[in-house]
Amino acid sequence: MSKSRRRDARPTKQILSRTLVLMVVCGVLAFVALGAQLFRIQILDHDELERRAIAQQVREITVAASRGTIFDASGTVLAQSASVENVFISPADIYYHQEDQQLIARGLSRILEVDEEMVLERMQNIASQFQTIRNHIDRDMADEVRAFIVEHDLKSVHLQPASQRYFPRERTAAHVLGFVGAEGTGMGYGVEGSYDNYLTGINGRVVRLKTSTGVDMLRAGYEDYFSAQPGDDLHLTIDVNIQQIMERHIAQAVQDFDLRNGGFAVAMQPHTGAILGMVSLGDFNPNSHGRLSEERMEALRQRFPDNDEAFWAAVSEELENSWMNKVTGYTYEPGSTFKLVTFAIALEEGIITMDSERTFYCRGYMDVRGRTEPLNCWRRTGHGALNMRGVMQQSCNIGTVTLAMEVGPDVFFEYLRAFGMMETTGIDLNGEGLGMVWSEDTWNFYIDNNNFSSLAAASFGQTFTMTPLRMATATSALVNGGYIVEPFVVEQVVAEDGTIVRANETRVRRQVISRETSLAVLDLMEASVGDPVMGTGRNAYVQGFRIGGKTGTTIDTVREVQYGVTEYILSFVGAAPIDDPEIVLLVSLQDPGPNSSTHPSGGQMAAPVVGQMLAEILPYLGVEPRLGTEVQRVNVQVPYIRRRTVEEARAELEAEGLAVRIKGEGERVVDQVPAGGAVVVAGTEVILYLDNSRQEEMVTVPDITGMNYPEARAALEANGLHVRRSGTVAEHDAVRVYSQSRPAADVVRRGTVIQITMIDTTRDGFF
Amino acid sequence: MTSNARQMQAETFAPSARAQAQATPAPRHRPRQAAQTARRRAPMDLPFFLLVLLLLGIGVIMMFSASFASAFYTGGNPTFLFVRQSGFAIGGVAVMLLASFVPSNVYRRFALPGMLFSIGLLMLVLLIGVEGGGARRWLSLGFTTFQPSEFAKPAVVLLFAHMICIYKENMRTFRYGVLPFALVLLPIVVLLMAQPHLSASIIILALGASMMFIGGTRWGWFAAGGAALLGAGVIVVTQFSHAVSRIQVWQDPYSSPLGAGFQVIQSLYAIGSGGLLGLGLGQSRQKYLYLPEQHNDYIFAIVAEELGFVGSMLILALFAILIVRGFWIALHAKTKFASLIAAGMSSMLAIQVFLNVGVVTNLLPPTGISLPFFSYGGTALMFQLACMGVILGVSREIPAKKEG
């Protein structure tokens, strides 16, 4: 009993009090400490920890903002983005999930039209989770891939949305547009580059929860969508019709004159500065800007048969050259086209007036202080006595230099500055070049040392350089009342909802000459084109319109210094209509080759190109032809007139400026020669058959090279052939057939249209 | 007056009315001397029992939520762990109820054999234990495994309670109050560290210290023991690189975000994400394979993430009340031995909860300790519930008393 009582002893006071202490420690203090720690983590550090947690828990999927569309002035789409998809595989997953390599490679190669070996090769890198198989596939192809993935329950083949830039007009206005890189952003070139921040928009993103292994969580308790904000659209000042007219004619010139270094052209609204068209050759296709054509690759490969490095260097050099916009990036000596500026300075400074009786005597050379040799006129035999208008028409160097000398070096230099020769034009495109012009110190150094050779050369556009665009803006100032305007290619930037984000308006930098002087210069320009005997620019003449302009012929000094080759640059800058110019058009052709029989001169090569362009552009711009004259369209399109009555057919053809001859008996037209849609010179006789009497007949093409136009046309029509005319539209006896589309002695079907290219063959050229 | 009071009490405490009726007035909070007459079992302490069931229920549900994602992604049946744990929980509750019917003095007979058996198991595990994570901690029973350290904990409580009852006043001396206890703890800790199993060693040491403290060992020895442990800790920390990194990670987990600090950081992310009200039950994101051991040692992080500060504090409060109630039962126990084992079992629960939540919240350096009732693990759960049953058994023996 006593033992039992001892064993069942009650807890002592000490045990109880110590138990109480332990109870407080274990049941209260410990939990206060834990509670405090939880409070710190869950309340005080909550934001920071949650941010870090979410950062690791979410996967962001970027939703690419669609890039803005680029429209021309008439609303034609020039660049557009389409949603496409990229296909990539994860070799790591193929390895991990033991998927069938052969099956995947075969399937993808079939659907995506890619090399099966390539797919297999990319699968070998099993450490990689991302190997691109093909980019930019369309929806149909992507759907096929999706079906393939589902069918075989593949975990290693993935699709990724992307955006593809399409340039539906291919090469048209390529340099104005530029291109986008693999990331779909502008690469600096064209408006794709300079307006990239407008075009890009803001990418959206989908935020989704993922497990630590990257798979979507079972339940999407946390998902956020930030919608993409599409990029803004661009509306260009470029008109695709004008652009294509310019491109077509300059391409023709490349053929006609065997131009080995292409050329460039720019059309500008002289009052506003809006660029209407801008061409630079060699060009590129912005849809495939990173690839040279097969034939160019082949040519380069043959040049560097064993040297891969040199080959690829040449490829990339050629690509980069093709991307350069010569109008804004290339600098050249403007040559005689710059004489217009010298005349304007002289007129503005009152050195001479339009009514002046003063004559300049050109012996073919003159002495210039500071020059060891006499300065030659382009016509070595001399122009003889010329008045102001004559100096202009004949592009006489001696007369021009005389005027510049009288203006004086200080004033002349100030005008160079005023016309903007020391600054960029401010066009809204990247990469604008700045020419090489004397610094004020250098200029003064020559003058102080009694050396006027710089002034003399400058007066006719040599020994300093500028961009073609600079020349166009200077010319615009000459014809718009004297204002230097900043050229621009983007009219408006419009957001998706139609708000105008940015509108480019005409910005006038300064007035450099008076309105009177401007009118006088226009008068001089017209004298150069309009005089069919004396004018060096007469090949730019278009019947029915008042066109003015100035020729220019220089040597590419950069190429001469670098490579020691003589390459001509043939230029013509025109303005029309003279009474209120709507367009200034500068065309330059580079390096005519041996296959061009004509003497290389701006008046013979560039002027006719400008004339051809203006003949099409002016009516398009709505310029009314001169009062009392009817515009004679050189070529017309033959209408489709089968099944019409004779009366209807005759009326329609005569309205188009075509003559009519009826053959056979009947009431309605059964057949016609030339066929509907053919383009022939106006006045061509269209033969209408009223019965089935038409017989196929073969004829021989005559040799018409060297004939003048009436002779050539008569010769062709005598053989039952029709004529389409190209080349210069000027009419004088030196204009001769330069080439014919079918060679002499070819046997062709009667009624075939032969295109003949007319060219001014005056021997000493028009500089 | 007395008879009035008696009558009132008879009405209020109907179940123990008979015991009360025979009792003479006694000081409050003192076990009744007439308890031996109550050979029929008094009812167990209902608040304690309900708190255990409540925590167990919440624990199993949270274990399900925490394990669901990983079970799903590792290709298993997402409900497998839940079903298994539920089975162990039900079995555990049965064991707890059975244990509650065992008179507390029965355990006294098992105090020494239990400890010897436990040491035997600890030696056995070193020989035939199942290895996992670089340590040999488990013994296989075929259908399940268990850690002998789970058995060692209650064994320490029982043996120490027994020793304290024997040594009585001598507890104040070194010879009785310290030495024998140290001699018991030493082999256990040595065997545990051989596994190695640091966290179990810490628990055993803390548990032993708690028992000795209640038993009457002088305060000074705890100061000395604490200083000795601290000194040993400093030596270990400065001498052994893995211990250095453990402390470093504790001080600044972001110093090695992908290495040793990874688990702590992921735990903090989870707890921090919970904020005030939590992401909602089942809405944890960190359980999606970010947080390792999310249904085990780190389950409390998922609880805090899903239920927020309010929810996790509520659960901690439930634990605190349960522990306080356990001590309350100890304070009211009929005998010294019963009081000691109830206090010991309560301390054991408190130590485990504090260490687990402390580690998960980075209040303490990282070590692997499971959270009672919450962490996945069948045998551990059953041991815990059995221990709760022991406390309930003690509560049955509390003689009814006059007031509160």
3-state secondary structure A395-441: CCHHHHHHHHHHHCHHHHHHHHHHCCCCCCCCCCCCCCCCCCCCCHH
Q: B259: which 2 tokens?
A: 């290495």
B109: contact with A, CB 8 A cutoff: no
CA B127 to chain centroid: 27
Distance CA A102, CA B271 (A): 47
Pairwise CB contact (< 8 Å): B363 & A43: no
Residue A303 lies in a domain: no
Q: A730: which 2 tokens?
A: 């000027």
Of A9, A48, A222, the CB nearest to B336: A9
Predicted confidence at residue A414, as pLDDT, reads 95
Q: Which domain holds residue A691?
A: 635-760
Distance CA A705, CA A119 (A): 58
Residue A279 lies in a domain: no
Predicted confidence at residue B12, as pLDDT, reads 41
Distance CA A204, CA A254 (A): 47
Section B165-170 average pLDDT: 87
- Which segments within A648-752 are labelled E, that is strand? 659-663, 671-673, 679-681, 685-689, 698-700, 722-727, 735-740, 747-749
Assign B10 a pLDDT band (cuts: 50, 70, 90): very low
Predicted confidence at residue B384, as pLDDT, reads 94
B235 has a pLDDT exceeding 80: yes
- For A443-476, give the secondary structure using H, E and C: HHHHHHCCCCHHHHHHHCCCCCCECHHHHHHHHH
Section A190-201 average pLDDT: 92
Q: A690: which 2 tokens?
A: 């009223």
Residues in A 177-236 with any Cβ partner in B closer than 8 A: 209-213, 215, 217-219, 221-222
Predicted confidence at residue A525, as pLDDT, reads 93
Predicted confidence at residue B91, as pLDDT, reads 95
Section A240-259 average pLDDT: 90
Dihedral angle at the C-alpha atoms of A399, A405, A410, A411, nearest 10 degrees? -40
Section A161-166 average pLDDT: 82
What does the pLDDT look like over A346-394, one tens digit per residue? 999 999 988 888 889 999 899 888 888 888 888 888 888 888 888 988 8
Mention every residue, 6+ apart, whose C-beta is less than 8 A from residue A722. A674, A678, A680, A681, A684, A716, A751, A752, A753, A754
CA distance B150 to chain A (A): 20
A53: contact with B, CB 8 A cutoff: yes
**Mean pLDDT over all residues of chain B?**
85
Predicted confidence at residue A216, as pLDDT, reads 65
Assign B132 a pLDDT band (cuts: 50, 70, 90): confident
Section A404-424 average pLDDT: 94
Predicted confidence at residue A223, as pLDDT, reads 65
Q: List chain A residues with CB under 8 Å of B313.
A: 35, 38
Domain count, chain A: 3
More confident residue, A215 or B347: B347
Predicted confidence at residue A344, as pLDDT, reads 95
Residues in B 358-387 with any Cβ partner in A closer than 8 A: 358, 361-363
What does the pLDDT look like over B292-335, one tens digit per residue? 888 889 999 999 999 999 999 999 999 999 999 999 999 999 89
**Same domain flag for A381 and A516:** yes
Rounded percentage of chain A residues whose pLDDT exceeds 90: 40
What does the pLDDT look like over A740-758, one tens digit per residue? 878 888 899 888 888 887 8
Rounded percentage of chain A residues whose pLDDT exceeds 70: 95
More confident residue, A97 or B329: B329
A11: contact with B, CB 8 A cutoff: yes
pTM, full prediction: 0.63
Residue A306 lies in a domain: no
Distance CA B148, CA B191 (A): 11
B403 has a pLDDT exceeding 50: no
What does the pLDDT look like over A708-724, one tens digit per residue? 888 999 999 888 899 88
- Rg of chain B over Cα atoms, rounded to whole angstroms, equals 23
Distance CA B395, CA B268 (A): 39
Assign A210 a pLDDT band (cuts: 50, 70, 90): confident
Assign B35 a pLDDT band (cuts: 50, 70, 90): very low
Rounded percentage of chain B residues whose pLDDT exceeds 90: 51
Section A487-493 average pLDDT: 95
Of B283, B313, B324, the CB nearest to A35: B313
Of B214, B272, B335, the CB nearest to A22: B214
Assign A305 a pLDDT band (cuts: 50, 70, 90): confident
Least confident of A93-107, A672-686, B235-249: B235-249
Helix, strand, coil distribution of chain B in percent, nearest 5? 70, 5, 25
Distance CA A337, CA A347 (A): 17
A220 has a pLDDT exceeding 90: no
Q: For residue A29, which of B58, B324, B170 has the smallest C-alpha distance?
A: B324
Residue A11 lies in a domain: no
Predicted confidence at residue B13, as pLDDT, reads 41
* Amino acid, single-letter form, for residue A14: Q
Q: List chain B residues with CB under 8 Å of A21.
A: 213
Pairwise CB contact (< 8 Å): A212 & B290: yes
Section A327-332 average pLDDT: 93
Distance CA A492, CA A571 (A): 32
Assign A332 a pLDDT band (cuts: 50, 70, 90): very high
Q: List chain A residues with CB under 8 Å of B350.
A: 26-27, 30
**Same domain flag for A203 and A98:** yes
Predicted confidence at residue B9, as pLDDT, reads 42
CA distance A97 to chain B (A): 14
Q: Is A542 helix (H, G, I), strand (E, B) or coil?
A: coil
Residue A452 lies in a domain: yes
Q: A218: domain CATH number?
A: 3.90.1310.10
Distance CA B264, CA B266 (A): 5
Distance CA B349, CA B315 (A): 14
Q: A498: domain CATH number?
A: 3.40.710.10
B308: contact with A, CB 8 A cutoff: yes
Element (H, E) at A494: strand A490-494
Predicted confidence at residue A217, as pLDDT, reads 67
Q: Of A542, A570, A587, at which residue does a domain stop?
A: A542
CA distance B397 to chain A (A): 12
Residues in A 21-50 with any Cβ partner in B closer than 8 A: 21-23, 26-28, 30-31, 33-35, 37-39, 41-43, 45-46, 48-50
Residue A28 lies in a domain: no
Predicted confidence at residue B251, as pLDDT, reads 82
Pairwise CB contact (< 8 Å): A15 & B105: no
**Mean pLDDT over all residues of chain A?**
87
Least confident of A233-242, B66-75, B273-282, B370-379: B66-75
Pairwise CB contact (< 8 Å): B215 & A23: no
Section A624-651 average pLDDT: 76
ipTM: 0.86
Q: A715: domain CATH number?
A: 3.30.10.20
Least confident of A207-216, A446-455, A513-522, A712-721: A207-216
Section A82-91 average pLDDT: 86
Section A185-206 average pLDDT: 87
Q: A434: which 2 tokens?
A: 């700045």
Assign A33 a pLDDT band (cuts: 50, 70, 90): very high
Assign A633 a pLDDT band (cuts: 50, 70, 90): low
Assign A767 a pLDDT band (cuts: 50, 70, 90): low
Section A312-317 average pLDDT: 90
B345: contact with A, CB 8 A cutoff: no
CA distance B249 to chain A (A): 17
What does the pLDDT look like over A260-280, one tens digit per residue? 889 999 999 999 999 999 999
Q: Of A493, A509, A542, at which residue does a domain stop?
A: A542
CA distance A32 to chain B (A): 10
Q: Of A516, A542, A568, at which residue does a domain stop?
A: A542
Pairwise CB contact (< 8 Å): B334 & A26: no
Q: Is B136 helix (H, G, I), strand (E, B) or coil?
A: strand
Q: How long, in residues, is chain A?
A: 767
B352: contact with A, CB 8 A cutoff: no
Q: List chain B residues with CB under 8 Å of A28.
A: 320, 324
Pairwise CB contact (< 8 Å): A9 & B69: no
**Same domain flag for A495 and A642:** no
More confident residue, A158 or B243: A158
Assign A561 a pLDDT band (cuts: 50, 70, 90): confident
Pairwise CB contact (< 8 Å): B272 & A209: no
Q: How many CA atoms lie within 13 A of B226 on its CB side?
A: 8
DSSP A741: S
B260 has a pLDDT exceeding 80: no
B80: number of Cβ within 10 Å: 11
Residues in A 674-693 with any Cβ partner in B closer than 8 A: none
Assign A1 a pLDDT band (cuts: 50, 70, 90): very low
